[in-house]
Amino acid sequence: MDRVSPGLSHRLTLASASATRARLLEAAGIPVTIRPARLDEEAVKLSLSAEDASARDVADTLAEMKATKGAVPGLCLGCDQVLTHGHVLLSKPRDRSDAVTQLYGLRGKQHRLLSAAVIAEDGRPVWRHVAEVRMTMRPLSDAYVANYVERNWNEIRHAVGAYQLEAEGARLFDRVEGDYFAVLGLPLLQVIGFLADRGVVAT
């Protein structure tokens, strides 16, 4: 069932179940109807990886598929995040153990987070943007990583890389170079720019 933001007209459909993305749009006063796209993301990633697609192309393709799947009338926003560490693409952790393993691999090093957004109109892509953020994690202890995952599992289990920068995850990092909103899963300022140009939101 669709979920409509209270008090807002149905001007934009968000093809995502992400509560964070919905909150960002609603806080910015963007009219939104939430209709998550049903997509086997892991199967798509495996297929693209077999074709040697770049991390940027993977994020962009997944965002486009979400925006166009179902061909909803009007404007539909699809988003996706891909985390790349070296030549490895990381996905959402399968379980607590996988979350700990992912964080062990990232600590003390820099990784890249690609945050893609595609807007389709009547099922046809009309706008896209991929933001890249470089993130350097602190050299965390084994005990802190394990305890962090245990304390925050319910919040991070749907997060690529097994962390949330907007919460305790901020303590994991030495440096974040790039758009903060992109880390949260949505290049918000660029989306607002497109919607303003189209007259969907006033500026």
pLDDT 10s digits, 73-106: 889 999 999 999 988 888 889 999 999 999 999 9
* Active-site pick, 2, 52, 57, 80: 80
Residue 31 or residue 134, greater confidence: 134
Contact by Cβ (8 Å): 18, 46: no
CB 69 within 8 A of CB 6: no
Examine the pLDDT at 36 and tell me if it is beyond 80: yes
Q: Is the pLDDT of residue 145 over 50?
A: yes
Band of residue 70 on the pLDDT scale cut at 50, 70, 90: low
Which structure tokens are listed for 181? 């909103």
What pLDDT was estimated at residue 190? 96
Is residue 6 very low, low, confident or very high in pLDDT (cuts 50, 70, 90)? very low
What value does the mean pLDDT of the chain take? 89
Please name the amino acid found at residue 82. V
First to last CA, the chain: 31
pLDDT of residue 178: 96
Examine the pLDDT at 9 and tell me if it is beyond 50.
no
DSSP string covering 83-146: EEETTEEE-S-SSHHHHHHHHHHHTTSEEEEEEEEEEEETTEEEEEEEEEEEEEE----HHHHH
pLDDT band at 7 (very low <50, low <70, confident <90, very high): very low
Q: Strands 173-177 and 124-137, how do they pair?
A: antiparallel
pTM of the model: 0.87
**According to the per-residue pLDDT averaged within each range, which of 18-32, 36-50, 179-193 is highest?**
179-193
Q: What is the CATH number of domain 3-197?
A: 3.90.950.10
Known catalytic residue at 179: no
